[in-house]
Structure 1
Amino acid sequence: MYSFISGLLKLIIVKLSRSLEVQGKENIPQLHKYVVTCTHESYNEVIMLGMAIHPNQIHYMAKKELFNHKLFGKFLLSLNAFPVDRENPGPSTLKKPVKLIKENKTVGIFPTGQRKKYSEGAPLKRGAATIAMLSGAPILPAAYVGPSKIIGLITGKAIIKFGEPIETKNLPKEMKRNEKLEYITKTLESRTKTLQDELYAYVGKK
């Protein structure tokens, strides 16, 4: 289902509407074994991020409430999404994404944990850093600027910008686990903000 829908969306959004611009493509790892993160102001980022790295498939972490409806839940599962209990995360929460990455697949995470306006400056949660560190995978940071309404995917103009991947292996051995997580999370937070600032400056100049 993912291949069919993503292929259809790419035809409509990328080829016909030309409503997506991707910057920093050279930063996308050739191997699919990585965590990709993005700013999250609307649901459009979910679609555009997928288009930006197509044909590679993203396995998105999604709040478990979205799976409460049986048919819709099955539909989300067919699109590679998997449920996560954001209110009570535990060790089992990490098993699925770590397993996917070790199977050479890409996991998508919105590290603010919920939709937040750019101006609100939401701090990032540690989930992305934890999963990346446990799986030994890099984090590919991205930022989005563009329409927030679904119709804007066709009528508007969106930009996804990828930054340099953050390596999570080979950190100093003297650093404790929490120190490593804090370092990775702060680095991700800094690079994501820089990407977002650059995009807004870019849009302002156009």
Structure 2
Amino acid sequence: MYTFFANLARIILRATGKIEVKNKHCLPADGGYVVTCSHSGWLDVAVLGISMPRPVHFMAKQELFRRKGISAILYKINAFPINRENPSPSSIKTPVKLLKSGKIVGIFPSGTRTAEEVPAKRGAVTIANLARVPIVPAIYEGPGTFKAWLKVRKATLTFGEPFYVESARKDQIGIYVERLTVEPSRNIG
């Protein structure tokens, strides 16, 4: 089902506009990794998903899973629920297990859709550290909704260099969290 929805999104988005993907060479060829991305609307999720070389397992807020129909679709496109207010051990176990089996886990470190700058949460750093996999930061620049897409018709997704979190101590986590957001004008070719 993931492939079906990814191909459908790819066809619709490419037929109605232009998606530029920069630094795709930064994506590891194999093995598990965490891809983090800015989050302004649902369209960035679709663009990230269709730009990746393999399926992505997205962490999503549990509120999205409340309706049965939507929940069924989310599970079929590899999304899994996370309680952002009161994370349980499975909030960590599920993505770590996926990563250790060589899968890609997509995390939006801001934890919410926003056009404003918000502090990144530590989940991506903690999960990557426990799974011993790299983090690939990405930034999406473009519209957040399909209606806005039809007006703008252009989006850019820029990947940054992957980095490992090596046994991060609590006092170091802030340094790694800052690296989750890619600044297009810095370290991006």
TM-score by length of 2: 0.90
Whether contact under 8 Å (1:22, 1:159) holds in the other structure is yes
* Distance across 1 between alignment mates of 2:31 and 2:74: 21
Letter in 2 for 1:183: I
Q: 1:164 aligns with which of 161, 165, 175?
A: 161
3-state secondary structure, aligned to 2:144: coil
Whether contact under 8 Å (2:109, 2:180) holds in the other structure is no
Tell which deviates more after alignment, 126-135 or 16-25: 16-25
Letter in 1 for 2:146: I
| 1:188 is the counterpart of 2:180 | yes
Q: Cα offset for 1:180? A: 3.7
Letter in 2 for 1:65: E
| 1:123 is the counterpart of 2:119 | yes
**Residue equivalent to 1:4:** 4
Q: What is the alpha-carbon root mean square deviation over aligned residues?
A: 1.8
Whether contact under 8 Å (2:137, 2:179) holds in the other structure is no
**Residue equivalent to 2:139:** 143
Segments of 5+ residues of structure 2 without an aligned counterpart are: none
Number of matched pairs: 185
Segments of 5+ residues of structure 1 without an aligned counterpart are: 199-206
* Distance across 2 between alignment mates of 1:18 and 1:28: 24
Q: Cα offset for 1:61? A: 0.4
**Residue equivalent to 2:36:** 37
3-state secondary structure, aligned to 1:151: helix
Higher helix share: 1
**Residue equivalent to 1:61:** 59
Q: Cα offset for 1:31? A: 1.3
Structure 1's consecutive aligned runs of 4 or more residues displaced over 6 angstroms after TM superposition are none
Q: Cα offset for 1:153? A: 4.3
Higher CA-based Rg: 1
* Distance across 2 between alignment mates of 1:63 and 1:71: 16
3-state secondary structure, aligned to 1:75: helix
Tell which deviates more after alignment, 144-153 or 122-131: 144-153
Letter in 2 for 1:159: T
Q: How big is each residue's C-alpha offset from its partner over 1:13-68, in whole Å with a ceiling of 9 and x where there is no partner?
A: 23x345211001111111141000111111111000011114x1110001111111
Identical aligned residues as a percent: 41
> Structure with the greater relative contact order (CA < 8 A, sep ≥ 6): 1 or 2?
2
* Distance across 1 between alignment mates of 2:126 and 2:106: 13
* Distance across 2 between alignment mates of 1:27 and 1:20: 17
Letter in 1 for 2:9: L
